[in-house]
Amino acid sequence: MNVTGSTSTLAHRPLLKRLAEKSRASVAFTLDGAPAMALDGDTVLTAVLTQHDRLRRNEFSDAPRAGFCMMGACQDCWIATESGERLRACSTFIAPGMALFTGGEAA
């Protein structure tokens, strides 16, 4: 909650902030139907969390999830694509034109 008691200002606030390697080429993709930018060489996990407050929502509790082990073993980083495919965000590199969904309204 913020100081006014509302959680609305935290919605979609990026979970990660890029501190280094800002000079790599940009990669355009969409996130929940909105245009987004990442850097060449970013994993999907990094690309999403520098734009958004979560990677997906838990299918049982609807709680926000953001990955856990960061090496593809825990199964916590699955994210949906526009085609309905699911991929591991921590071990898949972002590609130009990817359309990803976090489980929000556009999913």
Residue 64: pLDDT band by 50, 70, 90 thresholds? confident
Is 68 within a domain? yes
Burial tier of 87 (Cβ tally within 10 Å: 0-12, 13-18, 19+): middle
Asked if the structure places residue 20 within a domain, the reply is no
Structural domain harbouring 46: 27-101
31 belongs to a structural domain:
yes
Is residue 82 within 8 Å of residue 34, measured between CB atoms?
Answer: no
How high is the pLDDT of residue 35? 96
Q: Tens digits of per-residue pLDDT, 80-98?
A: 999 999 999 999 999 999 9
Return the number of other C-beta atoms located less than 10 Å from residue 80's C-beta: 16
pLDDT of residue 53: 86
Say how many domains are in the chain: 1
Task: Report the sign of the C-alpha dihedral through residues 91, 28, 9, 13, in that order.
Answer: positive
The string of pLDDT tens digits covering residues 39-48 is 999 999 999 9
Distance CA 75, CA 90 (A): 10
Instruction: Report which DSSP code applies to 49.
Output: H
In a domain, 4, yes or no: no
**Is 73 part of any domain?**
yes
pTM (2 decimals)?
A: 0.79
- Band the pLDDT of 30: cuts 50, 70, 90: very high
**Tell me, what's the pLDDT at 104?**
57
- The answer to whether residue 43 is domain-embedded is yes
3-state secondary structure 25-44: CEEEEEECCEEEEEECCCEH
